Structure formats: structure tokens, C-alpha cells
A and B are shown apart, each in its own frame.
Chain A
């Protein structure tokens, strides 16, 4: 049953424009590598750890290779050459470089095929390890009770991973399905990944591999107690996107915030760097069976949610097109949108619901991620709790998949333990109370909602066609997204973008894509395929 009558020819036009936009970026993605991608290659090959100044070994190796002008060939080639020449393991080489006992200047070029043999041996090992982690997740999901979507997503943000664990476990016991550990503010601008368990962060906890592992173990334990699989989320964004994707793949994270344009617009990270990094990071996420969450909600925190609704939809199309090109399956693409209209607006709920239904219809297989009110939360926790209730009602009626729960103390502090309990209680009450309302209602033909949805779609389509005509990078330079103008050569991280040489070598994209493009690739994310829950999409259609 078509719930809102949406002009599907416009949807097709928009999707094809988004495809042209993504295709326009691809030559840049193919021609360049970045320091973070090269560090990722080292991490995938098993390099981890820091020197005595807490500088991560992957940074030391890549910085030295970059200074020697060697990154254009790929770090995999040069580290392989160094291993052959010195007769040392990867971590021995890295430590020797850190102590300045070995220098890339003194490493001669080795035979390419020999290097490939050495590196591919290691690469195959890590690929099967990551695949093993994916299959482990699938077993855990199939072996536990599945919640009914919308899945309840809450955040923890104490700054101390051990405190986060206490809060995450409490939230899971209250009924949360998904736990996101908010990152310390500013981590997106660090050009390295901090190391080890951390207990001091600002407004969040540093994303480190050790912290990932600690939380994963805790959620597996509480999941066993509750008989449900509790999903873990972190942030695969900023200057270290693909490195964090790798850490998540190794530690079996289930979701990653991973937007193609967020860093450019809202963190002033260079656009070339971001487009190149997002491609490789999404490939890793795809292979690991991770669901990505895109960040369209951010468009509405700086602009009016009613006026700018079409920019959210346009960005969803672009994120979808880019994600598909990185090998993600549609049910791994958690496109974001948000309930952010001014609560004083007459019929605001109708517009919100219209847009939520529209997204559901346009992206039928996507595990849509619905974000709660934040901009108009004031500190009046009582009204805030009501606004969150309306948001929850919109979520359950429109069949959203991932419901990021609103917290009554938004705008006051990062959620306290009781705030999270109240948020979950609110969601459970409304979603249970109105569970099948979705199946009982249809919308009025040519009514306020249908008109609204088609108006937003039309605007988004024309915006996408404009962007496709001038290219995505030019559109960003012109300030077409979020009214933010970014220069092609501006922002942070451009110095880490390197044109690949003819001989560039990175074993992973090929190994990943081979599996991702095979017809067998169908990660289990949301339930037991035997019960008809395999891809999830059946559940929220």
C-alpha cells in the first residue's frame, strides 16, 4: 500500500542525478590516496601501538614515508620493501623507524611481485579475521531475540570508558537496543587516533581501539543477560575516517557514523581528503557488515528545518549513491534525518510526519536513522519530554528503523543515567501503545502531508540536478549545502592528499570489492533470515 502518493518519476530523476554526482567525484577518489588511508593499510596489516610520546606507530611510519616522498607508491609497497631489505617484521620496522635506527632513505626498491607476496599473505589473514568477526555477529543476532523496530538508540558520553560501560549496561537493561559512545569533542580534527583505554574526555570518550574492545565485551555480556544482541556505535568521521573503520571492523562494532560530506561542511576538513577517505572507510565498513549512519540531521541545526528540508533529502540521495559505490548493501545505509521543526509551528507534526513517511517510501530498504529534537530544546525538561514523545510517535507511525532517542535534558548536559531511563520509558510506552497504528492509517489524497512531501521532493530533485550540472565540489564551493562555503583546496588535511603513482599498491580495495560485489554478499544485520528477517527491509516496509 502506498501510504503517501509520491511522484516516483521525480524519485528516479533525483536518484539518477545523485548517481551522476557520485560518478563525478570518482576520478578524484581513484587518482589519490591520503595519509589516513595509508595509515589504515598499516593498521590492517597489524600495526598498532605508540612510541614513548604517545605518537601512534602508523603515523610515524607514514609521516616518514611522506617526508621521503614515497607515499605515491603506497605504504604497502615501501613497508614490504623495508621488511624484505631489513629482514624484520612490520612492527620491528615501525619501532626502528620511530627510534630513527632505520630510515626510508636507505631502503632500496624491491621487486614488486615479491613485495606483493609478502604483503598479501598478511592482508589475507586480516581479511579472514574481519570476516570472522562479521560471521560471529550474524551468529549472535540469529541466536537471540530480535526487537521490533524502531530500534532504540541511546548515547553514553561520560568521557571515561569504564563509566560509559556502567551506563551502557544500565541502558541496555532498560531496553536500549543500540549504544553509541559519543566521542570527545574535537577528536574529528586529530590527525591520529589516540591509544589505549581512556578515562578523560570532553563531552565524550575518545574513540580508541581499546575503548571499542572494552565496550564490545560489556555489551556482549549484558546482551547475553537480556537475551538480545546489543549494537555498538562509534564515529567514523573526521581526519581518521578509514582508520576508525578498521578499528571498528576488528572490534566488531555494528554501526558507524559515516557521512560523506559532514566533515567538509561542519568540521572544515578539506573536501578532497574527505571524499577520498569516505570511499575507503565505507568499503571497510561494508566488508565488516557495519551499518553506516549518515549525518543529515546536522543540516537542520544551523538552518530552518522547514525551509531546508530538501537539503536533507538531497544529501540522503548523495550519501546513498556514494555508499553504493563503496560496496555497501542498501540495508547497510542508515540514512539520517531529523525531527527539528520549531514546536511553535502550526501543523509542524504533520510536516514532520510527511517527511518521515517520504523518506521511508523513497529509501525502502535503508535502515533509516531518525534524529530527535535538539535545536528547540530549551532546558524546560517537561516540554522537552513531550516533544520527544511526539518524535517517538512520528517514528513508530512512519516505520523508522533506528530511533535516536531524544533526552529531556538536551541543551542542559550530556545525558544522566535517569535521563536515559526516562527516554527509553517514553519510547517504549509510545511505540508499544501505537505499535500497529501504521497499518491502520492512510493519508488524505492531496492533503497537507502529501503536498508537503512532494514539495520537498521536487525541491530536492531540482537541487540535485543543479549540483550534477556543476559537480559536487563546485556546489560545495558555492555554498549550496548548509549555506557553508568551502574551497576545494581549503580546510584541514589537504597536505595529507597524495596523487598515486603508476605503481601505487594497496592490496585491500581489490580484496574487499571482490567479496562485496559477489552475489553471495548479504550480511545479516537485523534478524534471522530463516524467519524472513534477513535483510531487515521486510520488517520496516
Chain B
């Protein structure tokens, strides 16, 4: 895996005054691959995606559009309600499946036939020759999405937007995207408090701080697989590093805990961080105060409750590569017709998550912009979530 996606710089850099709008801040952040992920289906990802596409194309950026799920369809696959379409202008690049390209109202010219065959047919990189709506699905695996974004980059895309699939967040991995936008909304929970607390929980996980231990240098996180588990313990004789080969942490949690010499150890996982490991570590006195390190926050698949349990016993979660969460979008409407007051929701989310800009794209309102600064490393323990 290659960590930094590309260093190609954006040609047109407008004045920094435009950063009053978080969408602009994202577009002009210098990030090249922007992932739009959501807390759930229907949380407003497509609206955010369209805002980014529109803004970037308005200032003449050459954009690329990809989706890690499927997006731009007319009707929702579950609710059968109409969904916002994805609108693109001439010159944009699009990575999508052959069958979906046929239903686009935009005129598309195939540039590259990729080797990837998906359930919707072969993935092809198209250039948009006349504006219109498109439907995109660019592969259901990180490896495929990565490969098509690299192809679009190669073909001259300056800014690539990767739409997330439903509530899946793997596309925000730093190996795929160097900036992330998170969409949340009324669909997430029946009450305002529920929406806010779930959002805050996801943000806390997504913004898990970087592992800044001196040992960091010894590891090449890209070479670690789900079979690698490393345990670092400090004792009277200095640090001890134990490298284990396991079938997977899912299979071998008991063995890993058995290998722990005592409290305060660091456990590096090459694969996922599952909930049962959090519960097992929390229940074991030997694991008090331990630090668990994973590649990036998309590997953390434990629930917030399990993570809290682990943290309450002195546990810490760290990542090799931090996700740069640029903005949160709020959508006050749920598909079942439930609706919150747009500003109340925006304010409540902004109040709970103070360190990240929050925007309601439709209402054109933003919060948390002034004084925004990116915090780093251990300062953000707990994600700064109130």
C-alpha cells in the first residue's frame, strides 16, 4: 500500500478568502482524493458530493468521480424514494461500470477499459463530453477503487471525489483518500440527541490519534497483514518486542492476550480491530493501560461501547495513519419524512464536535469555522468530543 496518494498540485489555487465555506476549504485544501462517507444510507452524502463537484468544476478544476458503492441511481434500493442525481460538467472524468454508463444522461466517452469486472459489468474510465446526470459504481473493494482513482489521476484528474457506499467508511482510509467528509443526518437516530451522540462517536473513532511512539520508525505499516500482531512491552531490561504470526486477530484473540506480559503493553494489529478483542482486553487485568495500534481508523470495527469499556480500563487506541476529517455535513430530513430544524441540528452537532467544521449544504449554513485548526497526535485523545 502506498500512503500518500499523489503529490500532483492543484493548478488553479484561488484566494484563501474562499475558505469561509467548508466545501471550498475541502476543494482547496490541497487534498487530491476526497472521500465522502456517511453514518448511514440517506445521510446526505450525494448532496455533499454534488456540492464539491459543482464548486470544483466552477473554478475549472478537472475532477474525477468514483463511488465505492453505487450512487446517482434514481430510486433508493431500500426505500424506493427518489435520490439526488450526480451532475457533472464537460471535462470531468468518471469511473463507472459499463451497464451504468448506458443510463447516463451525460454523454460519456470511454478512455480506458480497466481489468476490473464488477457485478455491473467492466469498470471503464469515461470523459464527460456533454453535461448531465451519471450513475457511478467503481468497484466494491478498496483495491479496485484505489486502482481506478490512480488511473483517473494518470489521465489528468486534479481532484478526485470518492463517494462512500451507504454507511461504509473504508474509502476514507488514508491509502485511498487524503481528506474525508462525513455526512450525518436525521436518518441516524429518532432523536436529535441520538443523532448527535452517534455522530460524535463515529467522529471519535475516525479521528483516532496517530501513534507517536519512538517505536513507530521500526515498522512499515504497509507491509503488515492481518496475520501480523506485534506486542511491545517495557520492562526492567528495556523494551521487548514480540512479533507473532497468527491466522487473524479474529481467530487468535485468546492467544494474543496470553502473550501479553502485563499492563501497559502496546499491541500492533496488521488487520482489523474487532469488538470482542476490546471486551476481552477490558476484562483482563493484564491488559490494563494497553495501547492498541492499527493501520488507520477504518480498521476499527468495534462499537463505541466496546471501545469505551477498553478506554475506561486505561486503554488507548492509536493509528499509523490519521484520517484528515475536513468537514461534517448535516441533513435534517430522514427518508421516512421525519425532520429536525436544520439550524438546531447543525448547532447541536457543532456544539458536540467543536474541532471540525460542520455544514448544512442545502441551507448554506456553517459552524465551527473560526479558529479551526488541525490538532495532532495525542492532544486529540478522545477526539475532542464533548
Chains A and B directly touch (beta carbon < 8 Å): yes
Docked pose: A147 CA to B191 CA in angstroms: 39
A53 touches B189 (CB 8 A): no
A-B contact count, CB below 8 Å? 13
Interface string of B299-329 (1 = CB under 8 A from A): 0000001001100100000000000000000
Q: Which residues in chain B, 186-235, are within 8 Å of chain A measured between CB atoms?
A: 189-191, 194
Q: Which residues of chain A from 40 to 64 have a CB within 8 Å of any chain B CB?
A: 52-55
Q: Which B residues contact A (CB, under 8 angstroms)?
A: 189-191, 194, 305, 308-309, 312
B191 touches A53 (CB 8 A): no
A495 at the interface (CB under 8 A from B): no
Residues in A5-62 with C-beta less than 8 Å from chain B: 52-55
Contact A53 B309 (CB under 8 A): yes
Q: A52-B312, A53-B312 are in contact. Are A160 and B190 (CB under 8 A)?
A: yes
Contacts of A160 in B (CB 8 A): 190
Q: Contact mask A295-327 → B, CB, 8 Å, 1/0? A: 000000000000000000000000000000000
Do A200 and B305 touch across chains, with their CB atoms under 8 A apart? no
B308:A53 contact, CB within 8 angstroms: yes
Shortest A97–chain B CB gap in Å is 14
With the chains together, A52 CA to B190 CA distance in Å? Answer: 24
CB <8 Å contact, A200 and B189:
yes
Interface size for A (C-beta < 8 A) is 7
Chain A: minimal CB distance from B269 (Å): 23
Contacts of B309 in A (CB 8 A): 53, 55
13 pairs of residues in contact across A and B, judged by CB atoms under 8 Å: A52-B312, A53-B305, A53-B308, A53-B309, A53-B312, A54-B305, A55-B309, A160-B190, A199-B190, A199-B191, A200-B189, A200-B190, A200-B194
Q: Which residues of A contact B190 (CB under 8 A)?
A: 160, 199-200
CA distance in complex: A199, B309 (Å):
22
Query: 5 additional contacts, CB 8 Å, given A53-B308, A53-B312, A54-B305?
Result: A52-B312, A53-B309, A55-B309, A199-B190, A200-B189
Measured CA separation A53–B309 after assembly (Å): 6
Q: Which residues of B contact A200 (CB under 8 A)?
A: 189-190, 194
A160 to B190, CA, bound (A): 10
Bound CA–CA A53/B311 (angstroms): 10
Return the 3 tightest CB-CB contacts between A and B, nearest first. Answer: A53-B309, A53-B312, A53-B308
A239 to chain B, nearest CB (A): 16
Query: Which residue of chain B lies nearest to A54 when distances are taken between CB atoms in the complex?
Result: B305
Alpha-carbon separation in the docked complex, A176 to B299 (Å): 50
Q: Chain A: which residue is nearest B312 at the CB level? A: A53
Q: Chain B CB within 10 Å — which of A52, A53, A54, A160 has the most?
A: A53
How far apart sit A200 and B190, CA to CA, in the bound complex (Å)? 8
* Chain A: minimal CB distance from B102 (Å): 34
Contacts of A199 in B (CB 8 A): 190-191
Q: How far is A114 from B138 in the complex, measured between Cα atoms in Å? A: 73
Residues of B within 8 Å of A52, CB to CB, are 312
Q: How far does the Cβ of B317 sit from chain A's closest Cβ, in whole Å?
A: 16
Rounded to whole angstroms, the CA-CA distance of A54 and B305 in the bound complex is 9
Q: Write the chain A residue with the least CB distance to B191.
A: A199
Q: Which residues of A contact B305 (CB under 8 A)?
A: 53-54
A residues in contact with B308, CB < 8 Å? 53
B contact residues around A54 at 8 Å (CB): 305
Please indicate the chain A residues that have their CB under 8 angstroms from the CB of B191 in the complex.
199
Tell me the smallest distance from the CB of B193 to a CB of chain A, in Å: 10
**With A and B bound together, what is the CA distance between A290 and B203 in angstroms?**
47
CA distance A263 to B133 in the complex (A): 53
Q: How far is the CB of A102 from chain B (nearest CB, A)?
A: 15
In the complex, residue of chain A having the shortest beta-carbon distance to the beta carbon of B309: A53
Chain A: which residue is nearest B310 at the CB level? A53
With the chains together, A53 CA to B190 CA distance in Å? 22
Give A200 to B197 CA distance when docked, in angstroms.
14
Q: Which chain A positions have C-beta within 8 A of B312? A: 52-53
Cβ of A53: which chain B residues have Cβ within 8 Å of it? 305, 308-309, 312
Q: Shortest distance in angstroms between B112's beta carbon and chain A's nearest beta carbon?
A: 45
* Cα of A199 to Cα of B191 in the assembled complex, Å: 10
C-alpha spacing A199/B312, complex, angstroms: 26
Smallest beta-carbon distance A51→chain B, Å: 9
Assembly CA distance A200 to B195 (angstroms): 13
Smallest Cβ-Cβ distance to B308: which chain A residue = A53
Question: Can you list, as one digit per residue, whether each of A129-144 has a CB less than 8 Å from chain B (1) or not (0)?
Answer: 0000000000000000
Bound form: Cα–Cα A438–B3 in Å: 79
A20 to B190 CA separation, bound complex (whole angstroms): 53
Q: How far is the CB of B208 from chain A (nearest CB, A)?
A: 19
Which of A140-189 touch B at CB < 8 Å? 160
Q: How far is the CA of A54 from the CA of B308 in the complex (A)?
A: 10
| Interface 1/0 per residue, A198-237 and B, CB below 8 Å | 0110000000000000000000000000000000000000
A53 to B312, CA, bound (A): 8
Q: How far is the CA of A244 from the CA of B61 in the complex (A)?
A: 63
Measured CA separation A55–B194 after assembly (Å): 20
Assembly CA distance A22 to B59 (angstroms) = 81
CB distance from B211 to the nearest CB of A (A): 25
Given the complex of chains A and B, what is the CA–CA distance between A52 and B309 in angstroms?
9
